[in-house]
Structure 1
Amino acid sequence: MSAVGTVTLSPLTPELRAGVLRIQVAPEQVRFGGVPATSVPAGDREHPRESVVILRDGEPVGYFQLDLRSVPGAPAGEDIVGLRALAIDLAAQGQGVGRAAMLALPDYVRARFPGRTTVALTVNIDNPPAIALYSATGFVDAGTGLYHGGHAGPQHVLLLKL
């Protein structure tokens, strides 16, 4: 099914915060990316992270963070930004929202972080829907092998060239 409406990305603003904090995922998904109620405060504390809201027709339906330090287990550098804590609200899953958000990601990163040419992330090997999403939107294996330092088990390391 395709996304209903228009999917856009926005930095987290005070006006969007309450809607983002209400985003929920299935219980079995929490171990992979957490929930915004936990991720947002962590992002608030760490200034190299930017909280990003996925909006559908102006309403928050997803969330992730961009980390200027990359992410653990992935390559790092002045040209790399890390993607972490992606969560799509359970009510919006399976509707193309995640795909639309990841397709909008390159333009968002270029606009917000000029000079960054690569997005890095890690994705758990036990999360086939997320692996499929990233693969379908241009992320490729980094060639570094699996990252074994994640709290939820081994992870693929993926890169997206912008």
Structure 2
Amino acid sequence: MQLWRRIALGLLRVRVTFTEQAGVISSQPSIVICNHQSLLDGVIFALAAPVSMDYAVTPKYAVENATTRRLLKFLERRGLGRVVPLSADHSLSIRSLRKSLVSGRSVMIFPTGKITPGEEQRGYEWLSARTGCPVVRASISGADRSLIFSRSGSEIWPRISLTI
């Protein structure tokens, strides 16, 4: 991992644990799914990811909000991955993730589709069935305690753990 990425994760107080699943992501196109706790989760994952991948992001942040759109474009230019606007209302958006997988890129999805806990949407199963790519589950914890980036946090800058 590049030094600037390690520094950024350190400043964000993120501890990353790599499991053998990270090797799967590095060796073949994979569908990575992760719980979703805060607005920083995707950025944290992109900083820690073993490979550049495509990230499913709600159109609200990927397209409509000018501030987050610019931030995501900045991260794309730094080589952290590509943003793919994904809406549960439009089946074509999940097909663009399918194209990414077929072309050899891994994709990252938050299957609840929102920060608050909820039922997983099963689009990743459809992707896996259509492409034969494995599903790799990652986990983030602590980000939900952020006053700044989560819905009901209690700490300004909590410690965060990411397991890939």
> Shorter-chain TM-score: which interval?
0.3 to 0.5
The structure richer in helix per residue is: 2
TM-score normalised by the chain length of structure 2: 0.33
The structure richer in strand per residue is: 1
